[in-house]
Amino acid sequence: MRVGLIINPIAGMGGAAGLKGTDTAEILEEAMRRGARPIAQRRTEEALRAAGDLEGYEFFTAGGTMGEDVLRRHTPRVTVVYTPGDPTGEKDTREACTAILKAGVDVLMFTGGDGTARDIMDVIGEAAPVIGIPSGVKMQSGVFANTPQDAGALLRRTRVENLPAHPSEVMDVDEEEMRRGRLSGSLYGYMLTPSEPALMQPYKLALGGATEDQHKEAMAKHFIDNMENGVLYILGPGTTIKALADRLGISKTLLGVDLVADRRLLAKDVDEDAILRALPQYSKAKIVVSPIGAQGFIFGRGNQQISHRVIEMAGIRSIVVMATPNKLRETRVLRVDTGDPELDERLRGYIRVIIGYALQQVAPVA
């Protein structure tokens, strides 16, 4: 198995020094003045020891403290594809990632925190799965294993079991705001990670303690700000979707399905036939739904008007799911029961759910 490895040598040094991170040279200098010591190499070694027989891997890495030094203490199967500067920086992380991708790897391991994850995501996107070895101060993202040992175990299981990959959230927190006592987190993007929830940490999203109604308002504003003219919007039942309609100034049925286009109500409390008649009149449609309670059904419970025929005609890519963070946390798994087992199977996997203004979370569909 071909594995890339990138270590951010300074990751986590600001934690013990009480500095909330090391995103700038000035903060790193202050951390060192306070006696901070590197921890990333040690945590990488912990992961490697948990990865099983290293003869089963061929490693591609950056020189010196960014990977080579640690790997050579454990295996001869090492190829250095990038030589970093001294001191290392964000540019080295990105260029090392580029070189490792060019070499061709099955998975990329990296040691660092959310800042390192952002740098790697800028290069790798979803080109290959990643496993984050946690070593930072700000650990908000869902691309990290729970512990270095879990990261090694995840690498071993990926090699032995060929685990599938799914998108995981890359989060980041403004360090300066964090030092002032304000947690300002945001969703930065997604990378692929091996699918093994028991070994991966859930991502953390700070939403300022907003109420359910405030979350619904934020989602509604985001959705309306991105509405397109000439598109048929099929609005499902529930209070989350009603908040969207209320913001549009539309009188929506709480438990029914309504049709909207160009920000105007076309038809209220429609049935399947009415939706099927309306769809051919528009070149594009969006089906907007919210999961039903803790059951998690997005189709087949309370919105049977949005049948498998409607979904097929509108297209799977037309589906938009909205849920407050608390509701999605309680639901955990979304479910579908369209009446067409073949369509249900195509819908299973993962879907992005709108949970706030310009915020999404990837959720499993079973």
CA–CA distance, 71 with 44 (Å, rounded to integer): 9
Average pLDDT for 77-103: 95
Cα four-point dihedral sign 115, 120, 126, 131: negative
Q: Quick one: pLDDT at residue 329?
A: 77
Q: What is the CA radius of gyration of the chain?
A: 23
Q: Quick one: pLDDT at residue 177?
A: 46
* Angle (CA) 115 360 365, round 5°: 120
pLDDT at 20 over 80: no
Q: Does domain 2-194 have CATH number 3.40.50?
A: yes
Q: What is the CATH number of domain 212-365?
A: 3.40.50
Q: Quick one: pLDDT at residue 81?
A: 98
Q: Who has greater pLDDT, 274 or 136?
A: 274
Q: Which residues pair with 319 in a beta bridge?
A: 287
The reply to whether 212-365 shares the fold of 2-194 is yes
Q: Is the pTM of this model over 0.75?
A: no
pLDDT at 7 over 80: yes
Cα four-point dihedral sign 168, 172, 178, 181: negative
Whose tokens are 């992961």? That residue is 47
List the single range of 11-20, 27-36, 145-154, 322-331 with lowest mean pLDDT.
11-20
Q: Quick one: pLDDT at residue 19?
A: 42
Q: Quick one: pLDDT at residue 208?
A: 52
Q: Who has greater pLDDT, 202 or 113?
A: 113
- Give residue limits of the domains in the chain: 2-194, 212-365
pLDDT at 354 over 70: yes
Name which of 128, 163, 172 is nearest 6 in CA terms: 128
Residue 342, burial from CB neighbour count under 10 angstroms (0-12, 13-18, 19+):
exposed
Instruction: Give tens-digit pLDDT for 283-340.
Output: 999 999 999 766 788 998 888 899 999 999 999 999 999 998 888 877 778 989 888 8
Average pLDDT for 175-188: 52
